[in-house]
Structure 1
Amino acid sequence: MAADWLGSLVSINCGPTLGVYQGEVSSVDQSSQTISLRQPFHNGIKCPVPEVTFSVI
């Protein structure tokens, strides 16, 4: 099921402090509960890194 998200364009709202990230899902790891976005944007501005990884708590 996690593989179904690969290649999807998503927005992740991290709340008022961290803001919103957008990008293409490049990996989903169910065991470590992480999701990675390639070509990410943060609050509408392109990130200087090619990929960001989020830990789902």
Structure 2
Amino acid sequence: MAADWLGSVVSIDCGLELGVYQGEVSSVDHASQTISLRQPYHNGVKCPVSEVTFR
């Protein structure tokens, strides 16, 4: 089921302190409970890195 999200463009709301991240889902790992976004944006501004991972 996690593979169904690969390639989807999503927004992740991390709350008031961390803001909102947007990007294309590049990986979902059940074992480590992480999701990675390719070509990420943070609060509408392109991130200086090519990928971010959330735990």
Alignment RMSD (CA, Å): 0.2
Identity of aligned residues (%): 82
Aligned residues: 55
Residue correspondence of structure 1 range 9-48 to structure 2 within 5 A: 9-48=9-48
Q: Normalising by the residue count of structure 1, what TM-score does the alignment of the two structures yield?
A: 0.96
Q: Normalising by the residue count of structure 2, what TM-score does the alignment of the two structures yield?
A: 0.99
CA–CA separation in structure 2 for the residues paired with 1:2 and 1:18: 24
AA aligned opposite 2:5: W
- Structure 2 residue ranges without an equivalent (≥5): none
- Structure 1 residue ranges without an equivalent (≥5): none
